[in-house]
Amino acid sequence: MFVLQSRAESWKLLIVCRFTASSLQQTCLNMLAQKTLTVASSIFWTWSLRHLVVLFSLCGFINGYSDRDRVQDLMSRYPLIDGHNDLALQLKILHNNHLTQIDLHNVSKMATDITRLQAGHVQAQMFSVYVLCGAQDKDAVRLTLEQIDVIRRMCTEYPDFELVTSAQELKDSEMRRKIACLLSIEGGHSIDSSLPALRMFYQLGVRSMALTHTCNTPWAESSSKRYNVYQRDNHSLTYFGKAVVEEMNRLGMIVDLSHTSWDTAWAVLNHSRAPVIFSHSSSYTICNHSRNVPDWLLHELKRSRGLIMVNFYNKFISCRDEANISHVADHFDHIKKVIGAQSIGIGGDFDGAESFPRGLEDVSKYPALIQELLQRNWTENDLANVLRRNFLRVFEEVERVFQLQRRITGSTVCLAGKDLSIHRFVISYV
């Protein structure tokens, strides 16, 4: 009789928990757990009630565990690795790289600071090392060194940051609750067509490089064709360009195809021994901008086990000056439909583009996107992949290719003289 009464009381308490204020629901559930223990003599009943509580919670029956709570829990367990951020560019423009002039915990003029990175559950950030295309064939190497220097100083002087150079260091930094800094060169013009320069950048901690920005290099073509008044004879990748990709594979440096033309991207995908990424690009089917990636190229990316990290810039998202979170989620939905969630990441492009969707104005707002995707029936496993697992997989596979080539010496290939006269450049901040 006691057991039957206790069962009835437990059911009543479960119903009461359903309508309890969210702030009191954890206490209510604890009481329910204790009540369950009092009827432990009925093993089946104990098992049933406990699992029913879990089931109701997962189904939203316990209304205190909202979508927002699910997002916070998910991103606490799988904090974000973001593929592209131009904070260093803003430090150059606004402060001429003088870190003493700014407190990076709170920066109102930018979309990125430490406080908002933490609020957005950003655990690792690929910081862009960017110099203007106008520096090509001039002082691009020196300017690139200066931008590497400011990121290294920033990630050393602020204890919230930690400079990392491997997938294992990235994972270790999460255990220490640090924001991992990854160095990524944005534009092959930074190496001045020199493989020794590429190798020295690697020694300074660079672990990724985009082959172009908005300017052609002598060996690879940019997606910004309308800006390049001289059309290349070779629209994909020259012999030296292939040597750059091979050397990046040998070093263990991630090849980034954002900003490259589709022909160049296709050539790289069919030449690289390691997976590659689009660090901040979106779907061409959803928004037909040349910076985005068409479906046929997405299929090539999946075949090579690569990754596309979706960009948030309004003009790449909605093809208009304004956009919202729903527009961004449309890109995720489409890419998932084409190649699956295991090939998608996030590359917000904060502080590098001019405008961002409503609700995604700065780095603190990433949870809003994850909530939107949850509401579109993305599974937590899919989102864990998007948030960090996919990037870690690519990084680790790039490192495995490096391990296989450790005994191979650096390439001595030089740029052919005929290639030096077939490129033009344009200045752009995007």
**Residue 143: how many CB atoms within 10 A of its CB?**
17
From residue 78, how far is each of 81, 84, 170, 177, 213 by CA, in Å? 9, 18, 13, 12, 31
Question: Where is pLDDT greater, at 20 or 165?
Answer: 165
Is residue 33 classed as helix, strand or coil in its secondary structure? helix
How far is it, in rounded angstroms, from Cα 124 to Cα 173? 9
Q: What is the pLDDT of residues 85-118, one digit of tens each?
A: 999 999 999 999 999 999 999 999 999 999 999 9
- Please report the pLDDT score of residue 34 as a whole number: 53
Identify the structural domains of the chain with CATH numbers, from first to last. 2-65 (no CATH), 69-404 (3.20.20.140)
User: Token pair for residue 329?
Assistant: 């989620």
- Asked if residue 16 has pLDDT above 80, the reply is no
Residue 3 pLDDT exceeds 50: no
User: What residues contact residue 317 under an 8 Å CB cut-off, 6+ apart?
Assistant: 282, 286, 287, 311, 323, 327, 328, 331, 357
At residue 415, the pLDDT reads 86
Would you place residue 12 in the very low, low, confident or very high pLDDT band (cuts 50, 70, 90)? low
Convert the pLDDT of each residue in 225-234 to its tens digit.
644 433 455 5
Q: Look at 54-58, 78-82, 211-215, 338-342 and tell me which has the smallest mean pLDDT.
A: 54-58
What pLDDT, on a 0 to 100 scale, did the predictor assign at position 23?
Answer: 38
If one counts every other C-beta atom within 10 angstroms of the C-beta of residue 165, the result is 18
Residues 6+ away with beta carbon under 8 Å from 250 = 402, 405, 408, 410, 411
Token pair, residue 44, equals 């089946």
Which pTM value belongs to this model?
Answer: 0.84
H/E element, 308: strand 307-310
DSSP line for 103-157: -TT--TTSS--HHHHHHTTEEEEEEEE---GGGTTTTHHHHHHHHHHHHHHHHHH
The encoded tokens of residue 296 equal 């046929």
pLDDT value at 213 more than 80: yes
What is the model's pLDDT at position 234?
59
Q: Dmax over Cα atoms in the chain, in whole Å?
A: 95
Q: Which residues have a Cβ under 8 Å from the Cβ of 194 and sit 6 or more positions away? A: 141
Cα 221 to Cα 232: distance, rounded to the nearest angstrom:
8
pLDDT(51) > 90 = no
The residues that are catalytic are 84, 86, 186, 213, 259, 280, 349
Residue % of the chain over a pLDDT of 70: 79
Per-chain mean pLDDT for the chain: 87
| Half-sphere exposure at residue 379, Cβ-oriented, CA atoms within 13 angstroms | 7
